């Protein structure tokens, strides 16, 4: 899941040469590339669109693998299917992939044609589940030889996970709870574990608990008494932070998080749940509640994502680009692994089947890759 709510205009438009275009205007082009779209009724289609032109501060990447976001993307699909509109423009899908550099703009340094990279697409760029992506230079990370392209398809989601952990403001030795073990929750739990935080994770699906356990994460079925388990593990004090990675209309995940944290503990909303908060419980814990939005400072800022302006290192230590690079470092040093999170792989031509797998069989699905 990329962020806490999906912008109304996330699907249906992108920028090329600074001009906003809609994908239906790009059909039947001479230099066509494959890209995955969602139509007005929520159906998945693969279309041929015009190959993007590299901008001054951009990199053209030939995609190898693209990871489907089982949070952000499926929310958008469900919304369109519940509210079909044949007049709504087709929208592009996806935002995290890997590939090889085929061109770089005049203002780009540090990347050469042939470099293998991990990418994080944005609304300001031509990215996502596309055969060729045009990505802002701040959103690309050169890959060490030891990181393969399948792993690097997790680049964007890995940056989101790192930003969520940063928002929890944990310090060495503190105790974190991660609720919801989809791909993002699995990554957050693994990052917490890798850097030495004590962590307990919960989910209703036993297979997801098994996968988390195989990575050394203490896990518990969400149907059991997780609150008591946390109290016991912390000597009755409660968790220092709870990171909510669940997707639910209910406000129960927040209520449960407030019961699990210590006095003056922190709750971080990474997923999407109901937001009706028990004020008395909130008051009694003097809790901090925060939202984690995407991969960090710079997100949705065209000057950073499109124009390539960076933020001063001493003042904004962890921009989204630096979070992406940190995730690749964790992969390269084998502190975090993602290969066991890949449950399915489909050629891009079968993208509709990939989304059906996610929507219809969530209990047997985790990370789903599209191969180009």
Which range marks the domain in which residue 29 is found?
Answer: 14-153+297-371
Confidence of residue 122 (pLDDT cuts 50, 70, 90): confident
Tens-digit pLDDT profile for residues 37-63: 999 999 999 999 999 999 999 999 999
Mean pLDDT (whole number) for 335-348: 97
CATH code, domain with 59: 3.90.180.10
Token output for 176: 């974190």
Mean pLDDT of all residues belonging to the chain: 91
Tell me if 143 sits within 8 A of 119, measured CB to CB.
no
Mean pLDDT (whole number) for 270-280: 92
- Whether the pLDDT of residue 21 is over 80: the answer is no
Mean pLDDT (whole number) for 235-254: 95
Cα-based distances in Å from 337 to 96, 287, 327 = 17, 33, 10
CA distance 93 to 80: 13
- Whether the pLDDT of residue 74 is over 70: the answer is yes
Mean pLDDT (whole number) for 137-153: 97
CA distance 357 to 295: 26
183 and 313 part of one domain: no
CATH code, domain with 173: 3.40.50.720
* 8 domain-assigned: no
Collapse the DSSP code of 106 into the 3-class scheme (helix H, G, I; strand E, B; otherwise coil) and give the result: coil
* 3 domain-assigned: no
Instruction: Considering only residues 15 and 348, tell me which one the structure prediction assigns the higher pLDDT.
Output: 348
277 and 195 part of one domain: yes
Provide the β-strand partners of residue 142: 117
235 and 326 part of one domain: no
80 and 191 part of one domain: no
Pick the last residue of a domain from 291, 323, 344. 291
Pick the last residue of a domain from 266, 291, 316. 291
CA distance 152 to 143: 8
- Whether the pLDDT of residue 30 is over 90: the answer is no
173 and 302 part of one domain: no
Pick the last residue of a domain from 267, 291, 315. 291
How many domains are contained in the chain?
A: 2
* 63 domain-assigned: yes
- Whether the pLDDT of residue 145 is over 70: the answer is yes
- CB-based contacts of 145, cutoff 8 Å, min separation 6: none
* 23 domain-assigned: yes
349 and 269 part of one domain: no
Tens-digit pLDDT profile for residues 182-241: 999 999 999 999 999 999 999 999 999 999 999 999 999 999 999 999 999 999 999 999
Q: What is the pLDDT of residue 118?
A: 98
CA-nearest of 70, 66, 71 to 128 is 66
* 195 domain-assigned: yes
243 and 259 part of one domain: yes
80 and 137 part of one domain: yes
Q: What is the pLDDT of residue 5?
A: 36
Confidence of residue 290 (pLDDT cuts 50, 70, 90): very high
Q: What is the DSSP string of 222-291?
A: TTS-HHHHHHHHTTTS-EEEEEE--B-S-SHHHHHHHHHEEEEEEEEE-SB------HHHHHHHT-EEEE
138 and 266 part of one domain: no
> CA-CA-CA-CA torsion for 217, 222, 223, 224, nearest 10 degrees?
50
Confidence of residue 124 (pLDDT cuts 50, 70, 90): low
pTM of the full predicted structure? 0.91
* 2 domain-assigned: no
């Amino acid at each position: 899941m990329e962020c806490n709510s999906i912008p109304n205009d996330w699907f249906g438009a992108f920028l090329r040469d600074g001009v906003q275009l809609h994908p239906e205007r790009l059909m039947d082009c001479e230099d066509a590339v494959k890209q995955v779209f969602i139509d007005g009724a929520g159906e998945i289609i693969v279309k041929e669109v015009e190959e993007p032109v590299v901008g001054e501060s951009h990199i053209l990447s030939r995609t190898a693998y693209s990871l489907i976001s089982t949070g952000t993307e499926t929310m958008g699909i469900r919304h369109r299917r519940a509210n079909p509109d044949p007049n709504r423009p087709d929208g592009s899908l996806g935002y995290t992939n890997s590939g090889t550099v085929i061109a770089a703009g005049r203002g780009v340094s540090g990347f050469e044609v042939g470099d293998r990279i991990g990418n994080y697409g944005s609304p300001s760029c031509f990215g996502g589940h596309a055969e060729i992506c045009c990505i802002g230079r701040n959103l690309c990370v050169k890959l060490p030889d030891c990181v393969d392209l399948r792993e690097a398809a997790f680049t964007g989601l890995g940056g989101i996970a790192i930003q969520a952990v940063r928002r929890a403001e944990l310090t060495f030795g503190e105790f974190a709870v991660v609720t919801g073990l989809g791909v993002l929750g699995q990554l957050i739990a693994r990052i917490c574990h890798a850097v030495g935080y004590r962590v307990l994770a919960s989910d209703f699906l036993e297979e997801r608990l098994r996968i988390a356990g195989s990575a050394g994460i203490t896990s518990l079925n969400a149907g059991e008494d997780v609150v008591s388990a946390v109290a016991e593990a912390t000597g009755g004090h409660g968790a220092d932070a709870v990171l909510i990675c669940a997707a639910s209309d209910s406000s129960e995940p927040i209520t449960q998080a407030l019961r699990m944290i210590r006095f003056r503990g922190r709750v971080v909303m990474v997923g999407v749940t109901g937001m009706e908060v028990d004020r008395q419980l909130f008051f009694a814990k003097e809790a901090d509640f925060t939202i984690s939005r995407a991969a960090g400072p710079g997100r949705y800022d065209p000057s950073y994502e499109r124009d390539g302006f960076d933020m001063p290192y001493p003042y904004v230590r962890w921009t989204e680009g630096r979070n992406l690079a940190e995730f690749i470092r964790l992969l390269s040093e084998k502190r975090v692994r993602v290969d066991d999170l890949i449950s399915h792989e489909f050629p891009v031509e079968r993208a509709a089947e990939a989304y059906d797998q996610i929507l219809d069989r969530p209990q047997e699905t985790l990370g789903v890759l599209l191969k180009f």
